[in-house]
Amino acid sequence: MNKPSTFTNELQQQDQKVVTGSEMLLNGLLMEGVECVFGYPGGNVLYIYDAMVHNRDFKHILTRHEQGAIHAADGYARSTGKVGVCIATSGPGATNLVTGIATAYYDSVPLVVITGNVSTAVMGTDAFQEADIVSMTMSITKHSYLVRDAQELPRIIHEAFHIANTGRKGPVLIDIPKDVSNQKMLDQPVSPIHIRGYHGDPIPNHAETDRLIQAIAQAQRPVIIAGGGVVYSNASNELIAFANKTNIPVATTLLGLGGFPSAHDLWLGMPGHHGAYAANMAIQNADLILSIGSRFDDRVTMKLDGFAPQAKWIAHIDIDPAEIGKNIKTDIACIGDIKAVLQYANTLAVTSQSSSWIAEVQQNKRLYPLRYNDSDTELKPQFVIEMIHETTQGKAIITTDVGQHQMWAAQFYKFKHPRSLITSGGLGTMGFGFPAAIGAQIGNPDRLVVSINGDGGMQMCAQEMAICAINQIPVKIVVINNQVLGMVKQQQELMYERRYSQIDLAGSPDFVKLAEAYGIKGLRASHKEEAIRIWEEALHTPGPVLVEFVVPTEENVYPMVLAGTTLDQMIMGDFE
């Protein structure tokens, strides 16, 4: 019989409970309010998974791939505003998370990513399934921890959640060697957070906001570009009040959609690469550009030296000082939490001299709406998106993958509320949309979640249909099937003189049969009447349903601004 160690005997003589590093990890996650963790086990996290057996309060969803786990955690975080959590083992388990970490990092999504590692005794020896995941992800994490002593876990967990969800939000990595996860220690209370040199939310500089208000008073053609920061800081109501008081039209970026209601008279649509005519022309003719939580990325600005050529003032409200002036020279910099900055600005806000300007931009909106050539013989993807919008009244949570369907969803689904569009913006990650929908549905069990995918991206994480079926997660899975890598085809058509290369997806599986193989109801439509009927059937079917809409291969996304051209050089397609 093995005798208990002297260390264990000493611990048991004390009043505090003896726990392992793994038990402390799970308890710490529960103390942070974690509702669900997404993960995939492996050898170097088995102590952590063993601790789950006796912890009935801990909820874990077993995905079918680590990338599915982190995208689900991401969708949970974006849709709820809470920190998403995922777990993977060392080596390939950890490296399979890298794309998801980068996806969250570029879009400022708060995640705590937990990875296993080999035991500390063999670290650095190229042991089986060893990978230095901390070094690999240093440029795409907000902070990283390599835990060498389980005594540090309570502090590290508490700090990780604080760092992930304050300031400019983002992913934090906790790497735990196998022996540390089994190290015995005394259960201990969490200490107050004090991170030397780290300041979460900078205090807004009111003097700069005062300058902004003065510029607005002088401006005659002002425009607001509202980005994802408005959504992440829960500042939608403050933005609406600010726009109403100042009478400034608002364009919302891809990640900002829903941060300002699409039905508002001052809303111009989405700007940029596939932006609305009214939004792009307003930016090009504005004398004041105010970016609120948008980082002037290249898909919004397009050709930098031709961006907003008539602007006398460029103002920027952002929580991250590093974004100020990074891409566009900034005249007025309001650094701080957007909600706090706008709350102060609303106490001073004045109406801009923009009456004739508002009439001009609204006329552009009427004369040049988003349009497409509908058909009685073919099922157009834009019609499908409009149908989904009308039947859900714009109230659903929509997740998308990346490609043409993503842009059609952004253009033709009219978002009413923040956190209603879950999509990969900065990294443009195919395979993101469906697992993100699973996370969004778990975080919002009483809301309808619709996952809109292309036939390319759907195949990158299709295996996660298993967990929808097993757990009866009622996501409505839409596949816009044009049998081609549509966005790549469109670029090859317009910029590579129709030299099509490696874009044919005609050999893809039968998505209806694939869904049925996983135990999910599958439906298919190829014309309007059929589409309307089966979509209604899907909405009234409990549990998950996959609906495949067969659409023309030739359909393109317009408007479009080609790389190297300016926002006013839009290709309007058939409505040139």
- Helix (H) or strand (E) holding 539, with range, is helix 528-539
What does the domain layout of the chain look like in residue ranges?
A: 18-186, 206-367, 381-562
**pLDDT in the model for residue 195:** 86
> Which pLDDT band holds residue 384 (cuts at 50, 70, 90)?
very high
pLDDT digits (tens, 9 = 90+) for 552-561: 999 999 999 9
H or E element in which residue 383 lies: helix 381-392
- What is the predicted pLDDT for the residue at 1? 41
CB 118 within 8 A of CB 47: no
CATH 3.40.50.970: does it fit domain 18-186? yes
Measured distance CA(334)–CA(342) in Å, rounded: 10
Structure confidence at residue 11 as a pLDDT band (50, 70, 90)? very low
CA 442/CA 304 separation, integer angstroms? 41
Cα–Cα distance for residue pair 117/543, rounded to 1 Å: 37
Residues 49-98: tens digit of each pLDDT = 999 999 999 999 999 999 999 999 999 999 999 999 999 999 999 999 99
Token readout for 545 is 């349903």
Type and span of the H or E element at 31: helix 21-31
Q: What is the model's pLDDT at position 198?
A: 83
- Region of residue 302 (left: phi > 0; alpha: psi -120 to 50; beta: else): left
Are the beta carbons of 503 and 485 closer than 8 angstroms? yes
Residue 288 pairs in a beta bridge with: 222, 313
Query: 10 Å Cβ neighbour count for 157?
Result: 26
Residues with a catalytic annotation lie at 66, 128-129, 178, 487
- Strands 171-177 and 111-117, by their bridges, are parallel
Q: At 481, is the secondary structure helix, strand, or coil?
A: strand
- CA–CA separation, 430 vs 440, rounded Å? 17
Instruction: Compute the distance between CA of residue 569 and CA of residue 518 in angstroms, rounded to an integer.
Output: 47
Domains 18-186 and 206-367 share a fold: yes
The CATH number that domain 206-367 falls under is: 3.40.50.1220
Distance of CA 367 to CAs 96, 166, 504, 575, Å?
A: 47, 43, 36, 11
- pLDDT above 70 coverage of the chain, percent: 97
* Average pLDDT along the chain: 95
Question: Could you tell me how far CA 174 lies from the centroid of its own chain?
Answer: 21
Q: Report whether 42 contacts 49 (CB < 8 A).
A: no
**Helix (H) or strand (E) segment spanning residue 20:** strand 18-20
pLDDT in tens, 411-468: 999 999 999 999 999 999 999 999 999 999 999 999 999 999 999 999 999 999 999 9
Rounded Cα gap, residues 116 and 41, in angstroms:
9
- CA-based nearest residue to 435, from 407, 412, 468, 411: 468
Q: What CATH number has the domain spanning 381-562?
A: 3.40.50.970
- Calculate mean pLDDT across residues 261-287: 98
Which amino acid is located at 26 in the chain? L
Cis peptide before 4 (omega within 30 of 0): no
How distant is the alpha carbon of residue 180 from its chain centre? 32
Q: Residue for token digits 């566009």?
A: 328
Q: Which residue has the tokens 């058509």?
A: 493
Helix (H) or strand (E) holding 292: strand 288-292
